[in-house]
Structure 1
Amino acid sequence: MKYHQTIYFVDIMNSIASEINAVLWGYVLIAALVGIGLYFTIRSQFVQIKFIKEMFRILGDKATISADGKRGISSLQAFMISTASRVGTGNLAGVATAIALGGPGAVFWMWIIALVGAASAFVESTLAQVYKVKDKDGFRGGPAYYMEKGLNARWMGILFAIIISITFGLVFNSVQSNTISLALKSSFGWDRSIVGWVLVVLTAAIIFGGVKRVANVSMVIVPIMAILYILLALYVLVTNLNLVFPMLGLIFSNAFGFNEVVSGGIGAAMMNGIKRGLFSNEAGMGSAPNAAATAGVSHPVKKGLIQALGVFVDTLVICTATALIVIMSGEYLNGHSGIQLTQDALTSHVGGWAGTFVSIAIFLFAFTSIVGNYYYGQTNIEFIKYNPIALNIYRVIVLGMVYFGSVQSLDIVWNLADVSMAIMALINLTAICLLSPIAFKVLDDYRKQRRQGLDPVFYQRNIPNLKNAECWDDQPDKE
């Protein structure tokens, strides 16, 4: 009797979460993210477009050392941590699902949301740098910190810290481990319980080693997994050059409902493309700024630009790679979606070994997401109150959720994760809208110094009446 009551309760919770998501993701969140992204784009004079060359230039900057000898992680390392969290199952399974539900036109709206969302990513990550604080590893920060220091609203920061710690460190990590175990079972017949224990051991080795180890692992794994996947997509493209222009025509015509291939026309294409694009690149969600704050840079704008670049890499490169593979195969017309659709599409292009490749890619993408997601939880737990015992308890719970996700079916968790992520995003969007004037003044300072031929250096005194920017005092940093 109790078992049936539990099942009934789970079904009710799942239904409620689905209804909430229909409103939040179908209307409120998409309107807020698109509207605010457009405002930031115009207000910043299209910073995410005009500064593309600058993004690559500063990616090679070394970490700075503060006056007390603290060294942050480099811009490249912070970029890899945030990319590790952004790039996950959404890039392979999420994109395929968007195409299956919204047609090829969903890809166009993914591109649009990446271009607009990059401006939001710039603002939130610049603010994370302005209001970062020093810690034993160098620096830490993020939305919780700029809510407290910039808005003088610690209560808001604590609320955000709790939600992101649960959403990313716990719920999303269980989803990632679930995807890994299902993929490995499908391709190799591996027992999901054993896969779970292996993931627990690998995760424990990293998260008990500190953020430096997180950065080092991400530095190795993320480029390898991204390059291999992109190379495969390029191979598919080169061997199907005759399909390129028809494919682009299909994307654009379906995006505006001129030639509905699946169903729903422009509405289905737009809603699925925007939703999956936002889920993948997280622009404006408040997650990536936690990694952006850890970098030691000479000017906050440098991290804002690099995080905008991260949005482009995630959506315009990796998500597009999946879209290219799926659309060219035509498999999206056969009723499949998610990771199965991606596997079927690759198999049609390169042969039966594709299922094995996708399983390995899923492992790499999802495992690095587990690493990045954990760090977001850690830095926000420390914001509420630094307590080694509490942090170790959190780590143990994270490991428990990694194992739990490996052996369970998580429909309810996906829905609850979407709800908590939507709430987290709305809180963050409110904060960055209120603080955006600071971000734009910091951008103006950066532009001024670049026009003078300087490598920009920021001090708190550069912005009149700027307070609580404790890492940007008048002591110049040492390279």
Structure 2
Amino acid sequence: MEALTTISGWIWDPLAYFALAVGAFFTFVTKGVQFRRLPDMISQLRHSKSGEGGLSSFQTLALTMSSRVGVGSIAGVATAIAMGGPGSLLWMVITGLLGSTCAYAEAVLAQVYKRHLHDEDRGGMPYYIRFGLKLPWLAMIVALTAMLGYGFVFPGIQANNIASSAELAFGLPTWGTGLIVTGLLALVIIGGTKRIVHVAQAVVPFMAIGYLLTALVVICFNLERVPEALSVIVLSGLGIDQVFGGIVGYAVAWGVRRAVFASATGFGEGTFSAAAARASHPGKQGVIQAFSIYIDLLLICMATGLMIVITGRYHVVDSVGGGFIVDNVPGVVAGPNFVQEAIDTSLTGWGSVFVAVAVLLFAFTSQVFFYYVATTNLVFILGERRNRLLENILKAGALAISFFGAVVSADAMWAAGDIGYGLLAWLNMISVLLLTPVVWKVVKDYDRQRRAGVDPTFDPEALGIQGAEWWKTAIETGALDRIKQG
């Protein structure tokens, strides 16, 4: 454990700041596309449709959000406040605004270099490394790592969170929760991609809206405290608050790290769903993925943070002198318990139940998405071939780790998972940076067509982009025209 933790620290300590820097870089390169194209985000969600093995923009957004809106949106936010004070929330917002362009860039690349395999559109990290950077050996390493991580490790961590919350709220034994979650997961993944997408588009809006409505109720009960809470958040984040101004460095550090972790900004997770969208131009899906960061960090995470701060149900650790700077909840462990305490101030007795249900939905949809990511990487490894044995092993592994993760300590799994996850993040962001010229061409082409008042259509050969075989075929067969016509 010590060795795993040390290695994980080497990987993760600089990672969050690198992700923030990459987001700032792409904000400059794209001329602030996350702000300029906000109307396009809404328009694309309204008008996009699925077909011919591809998904609509709303379906891919739901699939992406099933991963982005996870336990990090609850536990991660609470931990940031405990370690960096309320000012960490300001830096979570800043990270979201800048980091959304990294999500834009990787989604654009996922669209450009996707392929049509086994009657479905597939793409993501290994695809643009293979066909964009032309590094097949690196693409294979990334695909193998992602398949093993998302298929056999990460789902167990989500199952552990579900089991722990259910045990605390309802007294259910972890093995019982493990059986239930594994059974539900089996019903979803055996049905293939269509069932995965249907579950995501049904559950994700429900859980997001339900969570935001509960947060709104708590905020309304404490409406007179909102101005003071916002003032503390902003002043603490800028280092000029009387109580928390002295820990502004921790506010920056924990705000950035937890924002990156909660949203998987630049980690390539959203590229697999982004590639499945049927759009006439990669720029369209780029803005959808940027929008997903807004929903996660600016709505879900900020709802969590505001509930905690306005009710005062938190403590802040004094990392320099020891003890606490403030300790409003003596004996309460930082994490979901902060949210439980905050809700109970307004809705007595509802906090533990609500948080348990929220964790169940957030973590379960993440499990479903993880399996989709694992299968997409298996498809990349096999190419045009099908291997039922490997496909069944992947299904069995995802179900086994779902039960196993619920009944064992997650410490070692977290440490091992963090190493694989962190390495994938470094490889992805470096690859996206190396493919900046492609992203720039797509942005310019999209802007040019929008200024001309036409619905953008992508022609890679006209832009000098090589390796975009899906688009060439779509143009030749007339599929691109059918996508534009809906």
TM-score per shorter chain, which class? over 0.9
Matched, 1:277 2:262: no
Aligned with 1:54 (options 17, 40, 56)? 40
1:263 and 1:167, CA in 2 relative to 1: closer, same or farther beyond 3 A? farther
Aligned with 2:379 (options 335, 357, 382)? 382
How far the C-alpha of 1:336 sits from its partner, in A, is 2.6
Which residue matches 2:343? 346
Which residue matches 2:325? none
Counterparts of 1:51-130 in structure 2 under 5 Å?
A: 51-63=37-49, 65=51, 70-130=52-112
Which residue matches 2:416? 416
Distance 1:261 1:191 in 2: 42
Distance 1:426 1:264 in 2: 32
Check whether the contact 2:110–2:271 (CA below 8 A) recurs between aligned residues.
Answer: yes
Aligned with 1:357 (options 346, 351, 354)? 354
Which residue matches 1:39? 25
Check whether the contact 2:125–2:271 (CA below 8 A) recurs between aligned residues.
Answer: yes
Aligned with 2:144 (options 158, 162, 167)? 162
Matched, 1:216 2:194: no
Distance 2:111 2:421 in 1: 22
5+ residue gaps in structure 1? Answer: 1-13
SS at match of 2:121: strand
SS at match of 1:63: coil
How far the C-alpha of 1:460 sits from its partner, in A, is 2.3
Distance 2:81 2:243 in 1: 10
Q: Which amino acid aligns with 1:349?
A: S
How far the C-alpha of 1:229 sits from its partner, in A, is 0.7
> Per-residue CA shift, 1:146-196, capped at 9, x if unaligned?
000011111111111122223333322111111111111111111211111
Q: Which amino acid aligns with 2:24?
A: L
Which residue matches 1:21? 8
SS at match of 1:151: coil
SS at match of 1:23: helix
Distance 1:84 1:31 in 2: 25
How far the C-alpha of 1:308 sits from its partner, in A, is 0.4
Check whether the contact 1:100–1:262 (CA below 8 A) recurs between aligned residues.
Answer: no
> Per-residue CA shift, 1:413-472, capped at 9, x if unaligned?
1122222211111100111111111111011111111111111111223312x1111111
Matched, 1:236 2:218: yes
How far the C-alpha of 1:133 sits from its partner, in A, is 0.2
Which residue matches 2:288? 306
Matched, 1:268 2:259: no
1:378 and 1:71, CA in 2 relative to 1: closer, same or farther beyond 3 A? closer
Q: Which amino acid aligns with 2:362?
A: F
Identical columns (%) = 36
Q: Which amino acid aligns with 1:17?
A: L
How far the C-alpha of 1:140 sits from its partner, in A, is 0.4
> Per-residue CA shift, 1:124-155, capped at 9, x if unaligned?
00000000000234200001000000111111
Check whether the contact 1:254–1:266 (CA below 8 A) recurs between aligned residues.
Answer: yes
TM-score (norm 2): 0.92
89-98 or 469-478, which deviates more: 469-478
Which residue matches 1:433? 433
Distance 1:318 1:441 in 2: 33
Matched, 1:372 2:369: yes
Q: Which amino acid aligns with 1:372?
A: F
How far the C-alpha of 1:25 sits from its partner, in A, is 2.2
Which residue matches 2:469? 470
Distance 1:317 1:323 in 2: 10
Matched, 1:188 2:170: yes
5+ residue gaps in structure 2? Answer: 316-328
How far the C-alpha of 1:263 sits from its partner, in A, is 9.3
> Per-residue CA shift, 1:3-42, capped at 9, x if unaligned?
xxxxxxxxxxx21222233333222x12321221111100
Report the aligned-residue RMSD: 1.5
Check whether the contact 2:99–2:266 (CA below 8 A) recurs between aligned residues.
Answer: yes
Distance 2:469 2:314 in 1: 52
How far the C-alpha of 1:346 sits from its partner, in A, is 1.3
How far the C-alpha of 1:262 sits from its partner, in A, is 6.4
Check whether the contact 1:133–1:471 (CA below 8 A) recurs between aligned residues.
Answer: yes
1:233 and 1:460, CA in 2 relative to 1: closer, same or farther beyond 3 A? same
Distance 1:344 1:92 in 2: 13
Check whether the contact 1:139–1:294 (CA below 8 A) recurs between aligned residues.
Answer: yes
Which residue matches 1:207? 189
1:262 and 1:339, CA in 2 relative to 1: closer, same or farther beyond 3 A? farther
Which residue matches 1:4? none
Which residue matches 1:245? 227
Check whether the contact 1:92–1:338 (CA below 8 A) recurs between aligned residues.
Answer: yes
Matched, 1:330 2:329: no
1:244 and 1:161, CA in 2 relative to 1: closer, same or farther beyond 3 A? same
Distance 2:242 2:49 in 1: 50
Distance 1:254 1:45 in 2: 29
Check whether the contact 2:235–2:245 (CA below 8 A) recurs between aligned residues.
Answer: no
How far the C-alpha of 1:257 sits from its partner, in A, is 2.9
Distance 1:199 1:162 in 2: 26
